[in-house]
Structures are given as C-alpha cells and as structure tokens.
Chain A
Amino acid sequence: MLSRNWRHLCRRYSQAVTFRTTEASPSQHNENQIGLFYTMEEAQCKQLFGSGGLPKSFMKQTKTFTETAIMVRQPALDLINCIKASDMNQPAIRYVLYGEKGVGKSLTIAHLLHYAHENGYLIVHVPWVSEWLRRTPRHKEMANSQSREGFVDLPLDAAAWLLHFKNQNQAMLKNNELKTSKEYVWSKREMTEAGSSLAALVEHGINRVKYACDVIDALVNEIKILSDSKVCKTFVAIDGFNSFFYPMTRLKTPTKKQVKPEEVTLTTSFLEITKNDWSNGVIVVTADQLAVPEEHQESFLPRYLLFKKGFEHLDPFVPIEVERYTDKEFLTCANYYRDRLWLRGPTEIETELKFTSACNPYNFMIQCAPL
C-alpha cells in the first residue's frame, strides 16, 4: 500500500511540465504564471461561490478533483493590470468579456472575484442573469411591484441574491462605516432609518421577502453613493449581462402576458449600477451566447449579443476577448487532468483531443470525462 502511494506520488510530481503554481493570491499573478493552475482556498471558495458563481459542470469537476483549481489566463491578468493601473477617482470603467461558448468567461470572472475579494472590494456579483429572466421552474414566484406601476418583482430570486451578496461580503458588511444615506419606508410599520448599516438593510430584504426587490434597488443606490464618497470601493460582476437586453424574457404574468426585461425591477436596479455615473468602482460584465435563446447565437461579438440598446448603455467600454486554449495552456491543462487521473492512456490521445475539442476548454473537459 505504501509503495503504491509512493509510486503515485512519484508519478504525479515527476512530470516534466509544471502545471501548478503555488501563488494562491490573484494580485500576485503575472505573465510567468500564464497557463498554470492555482488552487483556491476551500473556505474562500465556499464564501464566494457557495450560492452560485461557478458553472455547474465546473462545480462537478471541483467536487471530483477535491479542489478548486483555476487557470491563470491572459484576459484575467489583463483586467487585473487594468484595474491596478486605472484611476479610481474617474467614473467606473466598464469591461465586457466576450468569447465563444465554453472558453472560460465565467471562470475569468471567478478569478477576478477572487482578486476583488482579496483586495477588499465590496462585491456586487450576479452569477447568471438568465437564472432570473429565462429559467422558469414550475413555481416561479412573481408579483406585481408595489412601489412602481407596471413592473414585475421576482421576490424569491431577489432574496436569494441578497443572501448571496451577504455571504460574499461578510467581512465588509461588519464595517460600521457602511451606512444608509436616507430613510426608506417600506410600509406603515416597517422602515429603515437613515444611518442604519447596510447589513441591516440586506437583512431586512432577506427577512421580508416581499420587499426584497425594493431593498435591492435601495442597496444599489446606497452602494453607488458610498463608493462615490470613497467609503468603500466596489466591484460589480454580472455574468450573462446581455440577457437584460434580449427583447423578451420567458416570464409570464398570471394574465399570460409576456414580460419584457425592462419591466422587471431587478433589471432596472442592475442597469442602474452598470452606468458610469459613479466612481471608485470596477464593472465587469460578460456577453454570453448561452444567455440568449438559440436563434440569437450566430455570433459571439458584443454588438450582436448586446443589441443596440445594450451597446449604447455600456458605451464606452473595454472589450476583452477570452480565447480558446493556446498550445501551452492546452498542454498544462492536459497535464493537470492527467495528474487528477481525469485523463489516462497514451500521450498520443492529446493530439487527437486537441483536434476534436478544437482547444475549447469546455469541450476538452467534457471529452476527457469518459477517458
């Protein structure tokens, strides 16, 4: 038994190609680590992505591999460098990640979130917009908005998101300087006074699901004000942002009327935060083909996916393309899979896999599964 373990260890660590970096802090990553995997701490991963954020197939894989290893890739490094270099007093810069299906846009966001969390940003992260607008489980909770006429609330989704927000910013919310600027009256008996903490606001939204959407609206406003006044710096990450601009959602009101995305209160809140009328913040969104129906997936370019409206909403922004694996990245990934015994067999199969997956990370992962 011992000798077998020994043999396994030897085989694992005697590989010619290094595929791992011990540098676990995203802010220390540089060009030397491109293509290498770093392991995220389990507790941190649970805190950041405990309620969504990593793609489902990747979550499955992390469970199998018993670690969350993310590859350091060029787009994430570029973005980190940009964030480091930019002037925080200027209006927030919008970054749009785009690329084909399965090239790692969401994982790039995950990498950036880790960076933001490490550097003390207040994180406003939407794991997947289509979860709200396009996914319709049998009992989707919908209600007409109390505060705004003709709008639709998604109270359960909103509360779930508030919980996500609370989990991600546990440390930040303990900071007593984060205070509301004005009084919010929810009903006759319920109100949040000016000067109460953000944590209390969030807590209210979670406890009183009915007002969750209004709480998010208030929260977004408060965050913008707080950032502007340099109390905190904010990192906004929205995955599948183009879903907000597709002409129709799959939601239907009880009267069978189709809902447009701009009629959902959540949409207005998150469109508000992606405007660049505030400073001391970073906004990263993705334009994803998977966030819209199949008939609108002909191109992966932002102009096509965001429509004219979304494009004008975000303009000016910095487009960053996430590309397929380069040869080096493919090699280290294959080595990583071999190390995890995810990929076995002769080394020649890597050539074939490179062809059949066309260096697409997702396809590569899926095709390795039965091998």
Chain B
Amino acid sequence: MFQSGIKSFSLRQLLPATKLCVNYKNPLICASIQYSTKSVDPSKNVLNNLTDWETLSEKKKISKAMKAYLERAKEHDEFMKQQQIEYNIGKRHLANMMGEDPETFTQKDVDRAIEYLFPSGIYDPAARPLMKPPEEVFPARKAAEFDEAGRPHHFLFYTGKPNFFKLLHDAADNLQQLYNFQDKVIRKKATPDPNGKLELGSSLWLSKDQLEQVLVESISDLEYDNFKVVMERLAAFPYSYRYKDFIEKYRKPLVSQKFALEIPKPSYDDEGRAFVTTYECLRKDSRGDVTIRSPGTGKITINGKDLTYFEDVQSREQVMFPLIFSGMQDRVDVECNIEGGGPSGQSGAIRWGIAWGLRSFVDKDMLEKMQVAGILTRDHRRRERKKPGQPGARKKPTWKKR
C-alpha cells in the first residue's frame, strides 16, 4: 500500500500490483455516508416486493439502514483485504529489490528501504513517500450503531456525536458523584488526604486530533474546549483520585527524557579534578568547546580571557545563566574555546555548552528543571537569507501608490 507525494508515479511503474488510494483521514466523511444512506429512495424495492408477502415480512426484520450498512461493511472489508494483499506483495517486491529475505522483512525494513529508494527533501515528514500497512493508512470506521430493526444502540445516537457526548456525560456524572462523596466526608468532619491528589504534572490532556481518533468522531474547537473545561474541573477536585482511571484515559504522558541515559561520566585530570568537555557547541556561526571542572571557584575563561571577553551585558548574562540557574556558580570552573560568529552567537554557544556539561554535575531534579527551562535545548535558528526583490529576508519595499 503506497501513499506518496511526488514519487508515486515511479513507484507505480516499479510495483505494478499496487494502486493509488485516497486517504480517508477525516472520519466525518464516513459518518456522513452513514447517515445520508438513510434517505435512499426505497420505492422501487417496495413495489417489487408488494406481492411477495413472505419475503416482505422476512425482509422487514432487517431495516434498510442496516442493509445499506451491511453492504458498505462488506465492501469495506473486501477493499481492506485487497489492500492487505497488495501491501504484502509490495513488501515482497521491496525485499527482493533490497536483496533481503522477504519472509523476515519487517515494517522497519520497509521504512528504511523506502527512505533509501525514494530520498525526499520535503520538510514535512507526513508528505514524504511511505508504505504502511492499510490499517494505518485508512482510519477505523465505526461499527453499526443500530440494530437490525434500525433502532440505535446508543442512547445519545441522535446527538450526532454519541461518543463525545457520552464522555461529557460520564465526566459530569463522576463530578456529581464526587460532590456527593465530599458531602459525606464533610458530614463525617474529615479532611481530604493532601497526598491523595492526582499528580498530573507529568502528563497532558489529549490534543484535539488525538481525542478525535479515540472517539472516532470529529469535534469542533468549542467542543474540545468544553471537554477540557469539564476534565480540568474533575481533575482539580480533591477526591479526583477516585476516578483516576477515567482521567488517565484522556491524558498522555510527556515525552520522557532520552538524554538522561547518555550523560557522560566525568574524567579526572592531573590535579584529581573531575572534568567534562563538551565539543561542538554551536549557535549561529559560532562553534567551540566548553570544559567544566568540578571542584572550582567560579572562574570563567573564554579564549584565555575572563568574562570581559564579552563587552555587553547581555552576552555575559547568557554565559552565566546556566551556572546561576543550577546554583553552581561558585563550585565549577569553566574554560571555553570559541570562534566564529559574533558575541551573541558565541555566548549562546557557550551557554549551551555549559548547560550540557553541567548535566554530569547536577542531580536529577535539577536536570529536569534545566530541561524545562530550555537551557539544554539547542538553538538551531540560522540567519535567513535575503530574498531578491525585497530589501530583507521578510521586509517588503515601502508601499508607494505610484
């Protein structure tokens, strides 16, 4: 199953078994199909079956909506099956092309092969050529929402967005339960356990897109805001731990810190001082290296000079920021060699180098704080080129009527 941007043409020639498919990303389309099929004109069928009472009574049990649904479901299943077959064939072709064993060719290998065969400079990863199993390319569809007689299963079916409103309904219900519980606690003259409060610092609410995927329904911005308001209220309640599972279901954890594992162990110099050298401290056009020595007195050496190497206050502030932030300004010595660029680039590079080197000397809490403060993040911004026809990168010529 190929879904590609520019390269789809050549790909088709290579793999004749595949075919180009439209990606139904938006579940709204599926939903609209579902509901619109109800208005299919039934007159022809009814006329045909007028005389045949037996078949009529038999047919009546199964509603037309159900019938249409079944047809569509069958069609979809067949389509997915076909896609699956094509995907498997494509995978085997790819394995052969890459000279590997088709039996042990995994999705990871497929991705690697596609990247190799169709190198793409497109910025957005979503727009690059890809080959994924059809389940990932085509979104899940809702199962039948009504029984054979055409009666909806869900009590909120006629809201149009049963899953979403069920979620709000549940949240409100839980909130009510919590109020009751609180009343009970107050009546007993007890106080809520301060440790029992939910720790939500390490996770976030699902984003709108993610929530839409979970619910298999499209929701508007306003509805998403309502969802957040209700959930925030629920989570802020002192007894919210009683509905922990419910709340956790709609939260996703923050990205865990990968770099925590890669912190280098400091080496030791002749004087027995621990030191860490960070090479390739880059920012704008400046590059250099930063050495941090651990038992120190806060001495800073930049290209053999002290902090007066930078004449402006801002650059000096940049250099000292990680040290002051971590409270290490009197406990380490810093040596930097930096070249290229101007003062702001050089100081920015040193700032990152110091922060990166300090990881080896600070505890985990501080590391997390530094991460949150953003001093461990590289600044990849570069000078933007000037565009022809205008005086600057973005600046347009002064508008003149004539």
Contact = CB atoms under 8 A, between A and B. Distances in A.
A351 B324 contact: yes
B17 to A, nearest CB: 67
B317 interface: yes
A355 B329 contact: yes
Contacts of B320: 352, 355-356
A268 interface: no
Contacts of A299: none
Contacts of B308: 100, 358, 360
Nearest to B312: A356
Contact of A351 (B306, B313, B329): B329
B167 to A, nearest CB: 47
A356 B313 contact: yes
A367 interface: yes
Interface in B296-342: 306-308, 313, 316-317, 319-320, 324, 329
Contacts of A360: 308
Contact of B307 (A100, A351, A355, A367): A355
B326 to A, nearest CB: 13
B306 A356 contact: no
Interface residue tally on A, bucketed by range: under 10
A67 B283 CA distance: 47
A355 B299 CA distance: 10
Nearest to A348: B324
Contacts of A352: 317, 320, 324
Contacts of B313: 356, 367
A355 B306 contact: no
A360 B306 CA distance: 12
A355 B328 CA distance: 13
B299 to A, nearest CB: 12
B329 A358 contact: no
Contacts of B317: 352, 355-356
Interface string A61-75: 000000000000000
Interface residues of B, number: 10
B360 to A, nearest CB: 22
Contacts of B316: 355-356, 358
Nearest to B307: A358
Interface in B184-233: none
Interface string A24-66: 0000000000000000000000000000000000000000000
Nearest to B297: A327
B294 to A, nearest CB: 19
A123 B307 CA distance: 39
A299 to B, nearest CB: 12
A63 B319 CA distance: 35
A296 B320 CA distance: 30
Contacts of A367: 313
A121 B318 CA distance: 50
Contact of B324 (A100, A355, A358): A355
A355 B306 CA distance: 10
A356 B316 CA distance: 6
A358 B316 CA distance: 9
A356 B313 CA distance: 6
B317 to A, nearest CB: 6
Tell me which of A100, A352, A355, A360 has the highest count of chain B C-beta atoms within 10 A of its own C-beta. A355
Nearest to B329: A351
A360 B311 CA distance: 12
Contacts of A100: 308
Contacts of A358: 306-308, 316
Interface in A342-371: 351-352, 355-356, 358, 360, 367
Contacts of A355: 307, 316-317, 319-320, 324, 329
Contacts of A356: 313, 316-317, 320
Interface in B339-378: none
Contacts of B319: 355
Interface in A105-155: none
B311 to A, nearest CB: 10
A57 to B, nearest CB: 17
A100 B308 CA distance: 11
A100 B307 CA distance: 14
A170 B84 CA distance: 108
Contacts of B324: 351-352, 355
User: Which residue of A100, A358, A360 has the most chain B CB atoms within 10 A of its CB atom?
Assistant: A358
B197 to A, nearest CB: 31
A201 B22 CA distance: 106
Interface in B44-82: none
Nearest to B314: A356
A351 B330 CA distance: 10
A358 B324 CA distance: 15
A355 B317 CA distance: 8
A358 B320 CA distance: 11
Contacts of B329: 351, 355
B329 to A, nearest CB: 6
A356 B315 CA distance: 9
A351 B313 CA distance: 14
B350 to A, nearest CB: 13
B78 to A, nearest CB: 70
Interface string A309-349: 00000000000000000000000000000000000000000
B310 to A, nearest CB: 9
A323 to B, nearest CB: 12
19 contacts: A100-B308, A351-B324, A351-B329, A352-B317, A352-B320, A352-B324, A355-B307, A355-B316, A355-B317, A355-B319, A355-B320, A355-B324, A355-B329, A356-B316, A356-B317, A356-B320, A358-B307, A358-B316, A367-B313
Given A351-B329, A352-B320, A355-B320, 12 more contacts: A352-B324, A355-B307, A355-B317, A355-B319, A355-B324, A355-B329, A356-B313, A356-B317, A356-B320, A358-B307, A360-B308, A367-B313
7 closest cross-chain pairs (CB), A and B: A355-B320, A358-B307, A356-B316, A356-B313, A358-B308, A355-B316, A356-B317
